[in-house]
Amino acid sequence: MNALILKKGREKSLKRRHPWVFSGAIERVSGKPAPGETVEVLDAAKKPLALAAFSPKSQIRARVWSFDAAEAIDAGFFRKRLQASLRLRAQLPAAKHTNALRLVHGESDGLPGLVVDRYADVLVAQLLAAGIERWREEIFDALVESTGCEAVYERSDAEVRKLEGLPARSGFARGNRNASRCPIVEYGLHFRVDVEQGQKTGFFLDQRENRQRVRALAAGREVLDGFCYTGGFAIAALAGGAQRVVALESSAPALEVARENLAANPLDASRVEFVKADVFAHLRKLRDQGKQFDLVVLDPPKFAPTAAQARNAARAYKDINLLALKLLAPGGLLATFSCSGGVSGELFQSIVAGAALDAGVEAKIVERFAAAADHPVALEFPEGEYLKGLLLART
């Protein structure tokens, strides 16, 4: 078998079971492994450490399949890993309240580069690394076999595939049906998910429990939902008894789905105003008009995918939080989020603290938010914890 021999002292992260091997840690490559091929990872003394998928174009030169150098990496291996992921999800409380769950969460489920979300009877898969790409057919076969879902829609169109030297690809990998509006249920609320054109895999499943929390807090409040996408938080707030909801979104197609989602639920649509606007500009407009809200939700897109972009992202996060805090009535609540992997929880709190200082507002953290439990974080892979949020109470 081809092998990667590490530089002396560079095996420490692997011994802590971190699944990534960076190019700078490699002394040399033994043999000529093809992209995605399984290779042995050896320390400088040639002692086996792991089996990993080789990715010659990426800075993450290898992603570990197994820390057991004797394990067979074959179709059976992927079937076992998938079945373990499914067993975990079946045990989660959310499985009783929704037919939409994340079934595979990449490295944290021992399947680096693979994301699989289930929307009712449709699976949406993202293959984001050379190793998982090499086992594409076997993985799709195992998914159909393990879940009973006949339709698998592939959304391997994320930018990260370019770093792996892989072309973008999307379309049905198994089965075929109209999946542009896939109906799901979440805690009694009905949503339509556009798995073909929507962001990521079509819906932000990671915010499921946080939508429920906003629903519980919304009764009698005037609510502002910035970056509402297809209306998840806005509809949850309305279902929770919000007096009025103003929901902002720059994407016309997303707002079209949001209105369909609203219509799919027995709610008073007259209490929701969907506004197509640049969120930053519209927040300033509302500030200048002297508007105030009792509950503000900020769930912006990923401003900083990597730590290198965190500096520029900090300015954007500060701006929107400063504006939101100015729009927050005394005694009001701000639920603010960051899904940027490059922004740590500590940095995010510091940014929001700076925004409050500049806004001249005093606020306290009363809760912290994270991704739903079907987005687990492996203890040895803290990078998997990308979504963080704060619930602030203005004093």
Residues recognised as catalytic: 339
Angle between the N-to-C axes of helices 136-147 and 75-90, in degrees from 0 to 180, rounded to the nearest 10: 40
Asked whether 62 and 72 are in contact (CB, 8 A), the reply is: no
Cα dihedral sign, 65-69-72-77: negative
Q: How many CB atoms lie within 10 A of CB 178?
A: 9
Give the DSSP per-residue string, 229-272.
TTTHHHHHHHHTT-SEEEEEES-HHHHHHHHHHHHTSSS-GGGE
DSSP for 180-200, written as a single string: TTEEEEETTEEEEE-TTTSST
Classify 241 in phi/psi space as left (phi over 0), alpha (psi -120 to 50) or beta: left
Alpha carbon 179 to its chain's center: 20
**Closest listed residue to residue 243, CA positions, set 294, 296, 299, 187:** 294
- Residues in the chain, total: 395
HSE (side-chain half, CA atoms, 13 Å) at 125:
29
The C-alpha atoms of residue 186 and residue 209 are separated, in whole angstroms, by 10
CA atoms of 109 and 120, how far apart (whole Å):
21
Secondary structure of residue 74 in the 3-state scheme? coil
Cα torsion through 195, 199, 201, 206, rounded to 10: -130
Q: Extract the tokens encoding 183.
A: 């109906």
Q: Which two tokens stand for residue 98?
A: 């929704």
